[in-house]
Amino acid sequence: MFLACIVALPAFAQDNAAADWPLFRGNSAQSGVAKCALPETLAKLWSFKTEDGIQGSPVIMKDTIFVGALDGNLYALDLATGKKKWAYHGVAMKAAPAVRDGAVYIGDIEGNFHCVDAASGKKRWTLATHGQIASPANFAGDKILFGSYDHHLYCVTTEGKIVWQFKTKEKIHGSPAIVDDHVLVGGCDQSLHVIDLATGNKIATITLGSHCGASVAVRGQHAYIGNMDSKFLALDWKKGEMLWRFEGKRGGAFYSSAAVTDEFVVAGSQDKHVRAWQRTTGKEVWAFATRGRVDSSPVVVGQRVIVGSLDGNLYLLDLAGGGELARFALGPIPGSPAVCSQGIAVATFGGEVHFLGKQ
């Protein structure tokens, strides 16, 4: 049984352009930085319960929230009310969806990549790989890119035809980033791969020192990613050089993907902290302690950082100083928030989707 618990109904703006967060990290560079502004004060407006847990992140396109769940469903929820529009049934989905031009793209644990009509929830096509797909898809023009546990990065058309495959030495968990005519992706082969978008040929391989489950964030010719050996790295991907490195304590692996602004880099860690570094120097600016692992990837909206923790809280932090501005007890949050001008969507391990907005 699917339940939508309505707490309050907000007045929603008609400007849908500001309501889009169509990808795991918001944009093709995976920066995790929103262009919209959030309401000054937030309250929980509604919750929707699935039949199993959610490990991935929701996304937002216009008036709809899309999220995949371990119960095998891809859900489309009404942004204003939380009511289910449709559910597309497959097998368990751990990846975040990606939405473009009326289609929703998502992989599943059996290695199938699905294209679903965003309006109706009907299947358009599926493409089979040979390993689990946890990697959220990204877009480059009319190309769709995603990684698989079968050690390949796939580039496919909107009709589901493979343009090229790039083989790595291990599984790919994170989402690729797109910058100009390049694709950047890290993986469990301890490398950051720089790939030519048109051909799928290797341009460069940069050693990361350990396995990577996070997605890389790119700003210009600089890339930012944490690894499983408690290290966070800033790289010049064009020169193949390390800019700076943060060495955390043992047990502080980075599953969290970074949010990157002009001044700061912000990421969570399994040492239960959210940290901000000065982007160009790597100097730690602040560290905020939670009571659980922070696998959630933070999102920056203006001067606020929104991030979940497995301690069951969604935190709003001050970007400049790391002070706590607000917290919401929602349940353990493994994924990234999705944001729009109306508010914040977030999913929990317990299988709930919550929406916070202006009451």
Mean pLDDT calculated for residue range 166-171: 97
Q: Which of 18-22, 110-114, 245-249 is predicted most confidently?
A: 110-114
Question: How far is residue 194's CA from residue 321's CA, in Å, rounded to a whole number?
Answer: 34
State the burial class of residue 111 (Cβ atoms within 10 Å of its Cβ: 0-12, 13-18, 19+): middle
Contact 132, 155 (CB under 8 A): no
**Percent of the chain's residues with pLDDT above 70:** 95
State the burial class of residue 100 (Cβ atoms within 10 Å of its Cβ: 0-12, 13-18, 19+): middle
Other beta carbons within 10 angstroms of residue 209's beta carbon come to: 14
Question: How far is residue 268's CA from residue 185's CA, in Å, rounded to a whole number?
Answer: 19
**3-class DSSP state of 36:** coil
Residue with tokens 């979940």: 308
Q: Which of 17-26, 213-222, 310-319 has the lowest mean pLDDT?
A: 17-26
Give per-residue pLDDT as tens, 257-283.
999 999 999 999 999 999 999 999 999
Contact 218, 236 (CB under 8 A): no
Which helix H or strand E contains 302, and what residues bound it? none
**3-class DSSP state of 16:** helix
Contact 227, 210 (CB under 8 A): yes
State the burial class of residue 255 (Cβ atoms within 10 Å of its Cβ: 0-12, 13-18, 19+): buried
Does residue 129 surpass a pLDDT of 70?
yes
Residue with tokens 């980075």: 254
**pTM recorded for the entire structure:** 0.94
Select from 174, 132, 176 the least CA-distant residue to 150.
132
- pLDDT for the residue 249: 87
Question: How far is residue 12's CA from residue 25's CA, in Å, rounded to a whole number?
Answer: 23
DSSP one-letter string for 250-278: TT----SPPEE-SSEEEEE-TTSEEEEEE
Give per-residue pLDDT as tens, 285-310.
999 999 999 999 999 999 999 999 99
Give per-residue pLDDT as tens, 195-233.
999 999 999 999 999 999 999 999 999 999 999 999 999
HEC secondary structure over 134-194? CCCCEEECCEEEEECCCCEEEEEECCCCEEEEEECCCCCCCCCEEECCEEEEECCCCEEEE
Does residue 9 surpass a pLDDT of 60?
no
Give per-residue pLDDT as tens, 131-156.
999 999 999 999 999 999 999 999 99
Q: Which of 15-19, 63-67, 233-237, 301-305 has the lowest mean pLDDT?
A: 15-19
Other beta carbons within 10 angstroms of residue 285's beta carbon come to: 18
- pLDDT for the residue 5: 37
Give per-residue pLDDT as tens, 86-114.
999 999 999 999 999 999 999 999 999 99
Could you tell me the two tokens for 295? 């696998």
Give per-residue pLDDT as tens, 33-55.
999 999 999 999 999 999 999 99
End-to-end CA distance of the chain: 27
